[in-house]
């Protein structure tokens, strides 16, 4: 087993060699301080699944801040300690050896957690690696691999996470898990759909009114963070649909609807259109745009949307509702209606409506500008004032609608307007 894991830990397809390098530096520094050092959580899960690892989740039995300080002393960089949580962020020195993305990493002291009430943020206390694994969400996330000295490659798996990985099962560690932290319901569904696993029946029955009710007390920010993580995943439509089927949303906001399954394919963007892409924003637009304005604004408040996200969802919803009135309008009328809306809102409404004018706007119309500028008007002796905007708008509308087709025609029109 240890040999097995040693091989995986040295596989450059799973862990890029610069990350391996960094891990071995951290491990030997921890060893020199007498601190057992582990990679944990998602790192171990993905490594055992033979998938490339993303974050370096490092835990030490001992003072992670002291470890961070000694790493900075030896290799440079900067440390931000969080004394309350016994953690530190190490901003890596900008040397060639550390060309890593991201360029910082968390150093964590093994800890136990207690919850003062359902849904509260946990109170943490330094402890052993065993306690640290016992505080976690699912067995598949409750494994550690030791990195220091001769222990390199030892697996700690007190809850049989490896066997659950093999059985493709997601299992909580104790019956109160979802009550302590109902964001784990979102996490369970995320892993289930990401890896095509099954939430074990004994855990599935814990997604019930008792745990779901705790969602009501959770901050909008915490819930939205989970939804953001979901919309950022490849299988996000399946995840959000599944959460709807589990009747999760009504506990967050009474008007939060099920995700329209027929919108599932729209989360892939056509990058040729030069529209700033965001799967997360598109996810929320597709999910909420058919609601009333009042419902959208109320959900945006509950989920602590940024003003940009609120504007994107609201804009798409307004546009979709006004499409019947805009159909067959002149291009300049479309442009007038669309210009103040976020491009992603327009693009998303195009995807669900296939209204060609929206595509024309995104591809051409929005770029149409008259040759004449404000400066030209000034040179022609026009007093600064609202006339500038009116003239430039009229020229642009004429180009858009095909009333003028050449610079000469633009000049003629300008002469008439002045
Ligand atoms: N964790 C937990 N309960 C939570 C959030 C996190 O127990 N509500 C633990 C899990 O052990 C998880 C680890 O903290 O593995 C790190 O959390 P995170 O970085 O969010 O997840 P990853 O496991 O890295 O998974 P992902 O691939 O989704 O990022």
| HEC per residue, the chain | CHHHHHHHHCCCCCCCHHHHHHHHHHHHHHHHCCCCEEEECHHHHHHHCCCCCCCCCEEECCCHHHHHHHHHHHHCCEEEEECCCCEEEEECCCCHHHCCCCCEEEEEECEEEECCCCCCCCEEEECCHHHHHHCCCEHHHCCEEECCHHHCCEEECCCCHHHHHHCCEECECCCCHHHHCCHHHHHHHHHHHHHCCEECHHHHCCCCHHHHHHHHHCCHHHHHHHHHHHHCCCCHHHHHHHHHHCCCHHHCCCCCCCCCHHHHHHHCCCHHHCCCCCHHHHHHHHHHCCCCHHHHHHHHHHCCCCHHHHHHHHHHHHHHHHHHHHCCCCHHHHHHHHCCCCHHHHHHHHHHHCCHHHHHHHHCHHHCCCCCCHHHHHHCCCCCCHHHHHHHHHHHHHHHHCCCCCHHHHHHHHHHHC
Round the average pLDDT of the chain to a whole number and report it. 94
Task: Give 354-404 pLDDT, tens digit per residue.
Answer: 999 999 999 999 999 999 999 999 999 999 899 999 999 999 999 999 999
> Which protein residue has the closest C-alpha to ligand 1 atom 9?
136
Tens of pLDDT, residue by residue over 139-180, are 999 999 999 999 999 999 999 999 999 999 999 999 999 999
Query: Residue 98's pLDDT is what?
Result: 53
Could you identify the atom of ligand 1 that is nearest to the CA of residue 137? 7
Best residue for ligand 1 mutational test, from 114, 124, 187 (most atoms within 8 Å of Cβ): 187
pTM across the whole model: 0.92
Residue-level pLDDT at 296? 98
Closest approach atom of ligand 1 to CA 181: 8
Q: Which atom of ligand 1 is nearest to the CA of 190?
A: 28
Instruction: Grade residue 96 by pLDDT with cuts at 50, 70 and 90.
Output: very low
- Rounded to the nearest angstrom, the distance between the alpha carbon of 173 and the centre of ligand 1 is 14
pLDDT digits (tens, 9 = 90+) for 243-270: 999 999 999 999 999 999 888 888 776 6
Domain ranges in the chain are: 1-167, 261-367, 374-417
Instruction: Please tell me the class of the 1-167 domain.
Output: alpha beta
Ligand 1 center from residue 244 Cα (angstroms): 22
């Amino acid at each position: 087993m240890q040999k097995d894991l040693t091989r995986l830990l040295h596989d450059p397809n799973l862990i890029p060699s610069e990350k391996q390098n960094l891990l071995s530096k951290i491990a030997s520094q921890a060893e020199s301080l007498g601190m057992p050092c582990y990679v944990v959580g998602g790192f171990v899960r993905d490594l055992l699944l033979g998938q490339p690892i993303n974050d370096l989740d490092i835990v030490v039995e001992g003072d992670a801040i002291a470890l961070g300080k000694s790493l900075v002393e030896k290799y440079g960089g900067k440390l931000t300690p969080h004394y309350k949580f016994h953690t530190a962020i190490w901003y890596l020195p900008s040397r060639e050896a550390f060309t890593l993305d991201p360029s910082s990493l968390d150093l964590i002291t093994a800890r136990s957690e207690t919850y003062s009430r359902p849904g509260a943020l946990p109170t943490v206390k330094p402890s052993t690696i065993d306690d640290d694994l016992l505080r976690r969400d699912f067995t598949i996330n409750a494994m550690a691999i030791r990195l220091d000295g001769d222990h390199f490659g030892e697996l700690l798996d007190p809850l049989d996470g490896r066997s659950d990985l093999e059985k493709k099962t997601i299992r909580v560690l104790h019956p109160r898990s979802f009550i302590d932290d109902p964001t784990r319901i979102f996490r369970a569904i995320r892993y289930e759909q990401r890896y095509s696993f099954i939430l074990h029946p004994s855990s599935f029955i814990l997604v019930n009114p008792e745990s779901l009710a705790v969602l009501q007390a959770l901050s909008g920010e915490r819930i939205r963070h989970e939804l953001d993580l979901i919309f950022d995943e490849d299988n996000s439509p399946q995840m959000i649909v599944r959460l709807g089927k589990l009747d999760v949303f009504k506990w967050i906001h009474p008007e939060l609807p099920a995700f329209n399954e027929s919108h599932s394919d729209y989360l892939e963007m056509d990058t040729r259109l030069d529209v700033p892409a965001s799967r997360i924003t598109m996810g929320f637009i597709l999910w909420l745009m058919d609601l009333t304005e009042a419902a959208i604004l109320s959900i945006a408040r509950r989920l602590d949307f940024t003003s940009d996200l609120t504007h994107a969802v609201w804009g798409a919803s307004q546009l979709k509702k006004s499409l019947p009135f805009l159909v067959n309008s002149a291009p300049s009328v479309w442009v007038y209606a669309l210009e103040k809306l976020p491009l992603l809102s327009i693009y998303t409404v195009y995807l669900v409506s296939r209204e060609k004018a929206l595509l024309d706007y995104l591809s051409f119309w929005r770029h149409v500008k008259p040759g004449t500028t404000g400066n030209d008007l000034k040179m022609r002796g026009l007093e600064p004032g609202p006339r500038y905007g009116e003239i430039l708008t009229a020229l642009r509308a004429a180009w858009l609608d095909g009333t003028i087709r050449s610079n000469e025609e633009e000049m003629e029109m300008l002469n008439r307007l002045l």
